[in-house]
């Protein structure tokens, strides 16, 4: 039976692209916290929770509330730094009947198996099935294969448009402007009102989706085409 795909404007995806300035700031914050006794007390509490099975991954660590093993977490920044620093056991890839570049049985829109991580095929299935449920309810056919590139980049464009409409705040550091009056002046010209230029913000987000597409292709489970 012929199916007609009604492509609507998708809401901006919850895909965030961290810029170099934000990453540098986060690393600096964590470096400073590592010099405090509270950091290592929290680190020990998280490791203990990991070893007893109470925490199994970085995600589960980041989702804990204000305490872990009766230890009060000083702040979310402490928690984020410690959760990122602790070594977590690697999770097996969630089992799928086949990859997204092969026709066959329906692919699950989301995997409910505990203790596994989604691969590129699961990511693409989630995107496609958001608009064409046939692919995850009945079969992953040639139409599903053909839709992948169109829907992936439609979602990327939507996210880029959202970033342009609400550009993120700029942060000045040594990686994006020289520490000189001239360098700061150039930076401020490129960053009026303390926010990125709309087009620059959109380009940053689109670059993130482009990098993700390349990563999915490198896994050998993606047949995404280039941005149209």
Give the pLDDT confidence of 26-48 residue by residue, as tens digits: 678 888 888 888 899 999 999 99
Phi (first) and psi of residue 24, to 5 degrees = -60, -40
CA distances for 90 relative to 117, 134, 171, angstroms: 9, 32, 34
Q: Is the pLDDT of residue 197 over 60?
A: yes
Q: Are the beta carbons of 19 and 203 closer than 8 angstroms?
A: no
Q: Are the beta carbons of 73 and 42 closer than 8 angstroms?
A: yes
Round the average pLDDT of the chain to a whole number and report it. Answer: 75
Residue from 42, 54, 144 nearest 97 by CA: 144
Mean pLDDT of 15-30: 55
* Residue bearing the bigger pLDDT, 110 or 33: 33
The radius of gyration of the chain from alpha carbons, rounded to an integer in Å, stands at: 21
Give the pLDDT confidence of 200-217 residue by residue, as tens digits: 888 888 888 888 888 777
Mean pLDDT of 122-138: 83
Give the pLDDT confidence of 76-101 residue by residue, as tens digits: 888 889 999 999 877 665 667 787 88
CA distances for 171 relative to 146, 175, 191, angstroms: 40, 10, 9
């Amino acid at each position: 039976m012929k199916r007609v795909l009604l492509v609507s404007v998708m809401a901006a995806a919850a895909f965030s692209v961290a810029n170099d300035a934000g990453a540098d700031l986060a690393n600096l914050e964590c470096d400073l916290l590592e010099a405090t006794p509270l950091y290592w007390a929290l680190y020990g509490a998280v490791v203990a929770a990991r070893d007893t099975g109470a925490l199994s991954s970085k995600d589960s660590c980041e989702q804990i509330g204000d305490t872990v093993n009766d230890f009060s977490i000083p702040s979310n920044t402490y928690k984020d730094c410690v959760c990122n620093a602790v070594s977590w056991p690697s999770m097996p890839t969630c089992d799928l009947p086949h990859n997204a570049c092969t026709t066959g049985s329906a692919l699950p829109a989301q995997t409910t198996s505990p203790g596994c991580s989604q691969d590129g095929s699961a990511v693409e299935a989630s995107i496609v099935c958001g608009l064409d449920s046939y692919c995850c309810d009945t079969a992953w056919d040639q139409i599903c294969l053909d839709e992948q590139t169109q829907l992936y980049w439609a979602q990327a464009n939507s996210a880029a448009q959202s970033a342009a409409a609400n550009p993120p705040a700029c942060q000045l550091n040594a990686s994006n402007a020289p520490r000189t009056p001239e360098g700061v002046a150039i930076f401020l010209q490129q960053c009026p009102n303390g926010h990125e230029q709309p087009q620059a913000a959109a380009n940053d987000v689109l670059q993130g989706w482009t990098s993700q597409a390349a990563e999915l292709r490198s896994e050998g489970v993606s047949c995404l085409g280039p941005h149209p």
